[in-house]
Amino acid sequence: MLSKLGTSLREAIKKFLGRPVADELAVKELIRDVQRALLLADVNVELVLKITQLIEERALKEPVPSGFTRREVTLKVLYESLVELLGGEKQPKILYPANESITLMLVGVQGSGKTTTAAKLAWFYKSRGYRPGIVCADTFRPGAYDQLKQLALSVGVPFYGERTGTSTEIALRGINELKKMGCNVIIIDTAGRHKSESTLMEEMKLLSEVIKPSEVILVVDATIGQQAKVQAEAFNNATKIGSIIVTKLDGAAKGGGALSAVVATGAQIKFIGIGEKIDELEIFDPPSFVSRLLGMGDLKLLAERVKEASLRGEMKSLVTGKFTLKDMVQQLEGLKKLGPLRKVLEMIPGFGLNLPDEIADVAQEKLEKWTVMVKSMTKEELEHPEIINRSRMRRIARGSGVKVKDVKELLETYEAMKRMMKNLLRKQKKGRLPLPFKA
């Protein structure tokens, strides 16, 4: 699967690891190799430039937490960026409550793999205890009915089709019949062949309006590379695409291009097809996909460890340091760099839960405002915020171009944070504090 891209990325990493130091030169060389690998896999040029520029910046600038090296931070950044390029960490919705009856309508151009995928999906859901059924709503291609019926038989799931008639009526009757038989995942295969592309789109639009499926799934052939974007957009204009299945990733030299192009449209890839056989369908999970691609299962782990270590560093000074107003603003800034604050804090057991919402959700603009306010305070005010009375507040507000209530809010947040720190310290003394603080 994407073996060529995998090989060239692995070679780039090997070369990078062989360098005596991970300096700017080495990072630049790695970036160039990654660029070449992605371009060869037909990833869009602009996309490649954007992502590699980001990798370079982050690899050279991100602080190296103690116990780690620049080399490891660079690999972590490379891993994270590739995951992002392929859709990030968001998990697609695959499983449904058993008491829900869902209909999945597959659409796509001819030969993209809809019929095969319909059978693969039936097999997937059947082996997870669902009761799938398949409807053939392809009335265009002679042989579509028999192909699907045969496949349904081999999977061992109910099939509904009619040799003549209109797709909308057949689909409606099919859904009804299969529901009566107790099916809870109904998969509808549609035509890919048509008089023209516009009549195909019209039929899909009509069909989706009539049967109102739980989800329209676009099936795209990976061998077309970045052209997948055009297809995704065209279908999305006709009927709202819920998610995408990319087929034929086995051996597709342009697979990386297809995946990233689809992701760039904002669509979510649910499954990938990796062969002609019925069980050659996989849930698409960018983190594990990238780990496998790079041939380093532990890269994901490394990324997490680096993140945790920098977090620990930030948190430690937050908890143990003399906690002034200035510290608070600086620390919050530091934490924010590691990711969305709430998410970062959630990673620390026992911390996320206690955190007041106003701190966890603090927006970037607010932090910037706070930074300016802190700069308008005197040294004395910073060390002893309790002396900040109304007139001092007015002066600080004027000096930093904010309202008095903003200054008040900063002070209140500081108080809340300080209280929480005290609690944490107390717990730490009692030895009840979770791991990150003990280090």
Ligand X SMILES: Nc1nc2c(ncn2[C@@H]2O[C@H](COP(=O)(O)OP(=O)(O)OP(=O)(O)O)[C@@H](O)[C@H]2O)c(=O)[nH]1
Question: Residues in the site for Mg ion, rule: CB under 5 A?
Answer: 114-115
Least distance between ligand X and beta carbon 42 (Å): 17
Sheet arrangement for strand 269-273: 159-160, 132-137, 185-190, 102-107, 215-221, 243-247, 269-273, 281-283
Is residue 255 a contact point for ligand X (CB under 6 A)?
no
First to last CA, the chain: 41
DSSP 8-class letter at 42: T
Q: Which does 110 bind (CB under 5 to 8 A by kind): ligand X, Mg ion, none?
A: ligand X
Q: Return phi, psi of residue 288, to 5°.
A: -75, -30
Q: Which does 268 bind (CB under 5 to 8 A by kind): Mg ion, ligand X, none?
A: none
Which residues, 286 to 345, sit near ligand X by CB under 6 A?
none
Binding segment (CB under 6 A) for ligand X, from list 47-55, 195-203, 274-282, 359-367: 274-282
* Nearer CB in complex with ligand X: 192/436: 192
Least distance between ligand X and beta carbon 16 (Å): 32
Is residue 74 a contact point for ligand X (CB under 6 A)?
no
Residue of 28, 141, 326, 418 that binds ligand X (CB under 6 A): 141
Long-range contact pairs involving 179-182 (C-beta distance under 8 Å, separation at least 24): 179/101, 181/133, 182/131
Binding segment (CB under 6 A) for ligand X, from list 67-75, 136-144, 227-235, 296-304: 136-144
Least distance between ligand X and beta carbon 275 (Å): 5
State how far the Cα of 388 lies from the Cα of 367, in Å rounded to an integer: 20
Token duo for residue 15: 């070369």
Burial class (CB in 10 A: 0-12, 13-18, 19+), 164: exposed
Q: Which does 112 bind (CB under 5 to 8 A by kind): ligand X, Mg ion, none?
A: ligand X
Least distance between Mg ion and beta carbon 122 (Å): 14
Query: Residues binding ligand X: what is the number (CB under 6 A)?
Result: 21
* Nearer CB in complex with Mg ion: 114/270: 114
Least distance between Mg ion and beta carbon 81 (Å): 36
Least distance between ligand X and beta carbon 203 (Å): 12
Q: Which does 111 bind (CB under 5 to 8 A by kind): ligand X, Mg ion, none?
A: ligand X
State how far the Cα of 279 lies from the Cα of 23, in Å rounded to an integer: 45
What burial letters (b/e) apply to 310-347, b meaning 16+ CB within 10 Å? bbbbbbeebbeeebbbbbbbbbbebbbebeebeebbee
* Nearer CB in complex with Mg ion: 5/187: 187
User: Please, are residues 326 and 372 in contact by the beta-carbon 8 Å criterion?
Assistant: no
Is residue 108 a contact point for ligand X (CB under 6 A)?
yes
Which residues, 177 to 236, sit near ligand X by CB under 6 A?
192-193
Is residue 263 a contact point for ligand X (CB under 6 A)?
no
Comparing CA positions, the residue from 432, 438, 436 lying closest to residue 305 is 436
CA angle 254, 232, 7 (to 5 degrees): 20
Q: Which residues bind ligand X (CB under 6 A)?
A: 108, 110-116, 138, 141, 144, 192-193, 247-248, 250, 273-276, 280
